[in-house]
Amino acid sequence: MPIRIANAPVSWGIYEFEGIEPKFPYTRVLDEIADTGYAGLELGPWGYLPTDPDALRPELARRGLQLLSAYVPVKLVDADAHAAGEAHALKVGRLLAALGAPVIVLADDNGTVPELVRRAGSRRGSYLNGDQWAVVAAGVNRIARAVHDQLGLKLVFHHHCAGHVETPEETRQLLSRTDPDLVGLCLDTGHWHYAGGDALQAVQEFGERVRYLHLKDCDPNIRQLCIDEQLDYFAAVQAGVFCELGRGGLDFPGVLAAVENLGYDGWAIVEQDILTDDPDAPRRSARQNRDYLRRLGY
């Protein structure tokens, strides 16, 4: 089956980050995802879409949308936070499982450590030491095991700028310390490039551990400007570092061909992280991104 294309509330500026309030009602976002040509979506922050499966199911059905996953941030560097993180993942996972979603996307609680927010895109290597990595990996394995055993969901980990798992080296550390049967990689092409990596090389390096795709472009000129002027992560997003697909530095034909060669036949989620006051910008970008992928044959 060919790769199918979905979108997510984050493309409308709907974030899990505290202090960023949604600017659109969920009904408008669902309408615009469907109207711009997407067949599926992610959940967005818990509580943005209805959390009762009997309420959410008809909203999706009338628009022909499939729920695919949800992004779950956890403070993984704190062992005392793992139990609460597991409980939250299971709460979100029960909704996903009830609606036939196959995947849960785990992440660090990105955007909460001021130094990591400030240095996003300019760091190299690993911020954590070996003992800290052991704590993070234990939390990821624990949550992955719980959602698999109790709900039958697959877990993928999302590397992300402004967090403890941002750089290619940090992603290698995480994957080397987690159970490959339980923990896959959600490759976010834009975040990978913003952090100094190359998404095509990531597919070639991690192979079958790449089990979920977030398609995002990254403007190399804006990225370099943000680094040169020491803009933090949120300022970079507001400056438009994540541009429409095909307008930045990503080799999407190469990335998509590479994952297909691995046998990937799941979904690719378009995510264009934005912070904008233009109420029509998300819909315009969603349509442009969908048209671009159609031109590539998806």
The number of beta carbons lying within 10 Å of the beta carbon of residue 292 is: 18
Per-residue pLDDT of 248-277, as tens digits, reads 999 999 999 999 999 998 999 999 988 878
Which tokens is 206 given? Answer: 């991690």
Quote the pLDDT of residue 185.
98
In whole angstroms, how far apart are CA 268 and each of 49, 81, 173, 259?
21, 30, 25, 11
Cα–Cα nearest to 181, from 138, 141, 214, 136? 141
- Which residues neighbour 136 within 8 Å (Cβ) at sequence distance 6 or greater? 76, 77, 108, 128, 164, 165, 174, 177
In whole angstroms, how far apart are CA 219 and each of 3, 203, 226, 269, 293?
25, 20, 11, 19, 18
The number of beta carbons lying within 10 Å of the beta carbon of residue 121 is: 23
Per-residue pLDDT of 29-64, as tens digits, reads 999 999 999 999 999 999 999 999 999 999 999 999
Q: Is the pLDDT of residue 1 over 80?
A: no
210 in Cβ contact with 263 (< 8 Å)? no
| CA 284, chain centre distance (Å) | 21
286 in Cβ contact with 270 (< 8 Å)? yes
Side chain identity at 250, as an amino acid letter?
A: L
CATH code of the domain containing 90:
3.20.20.150
Per-residue pLDDT of 72-91, as tens digits, reads 999 999 999 999 999 999 99
Which tokens is 269 given? Answer: 């989620």
Supply the range of the domain harboring residue 11: 4-295
Domain count, the chain: 1
The pTM (predicted TM-score) of the whole model is 0.95
Q: Is the pLDDT of residue 94 over 80?
A: yes
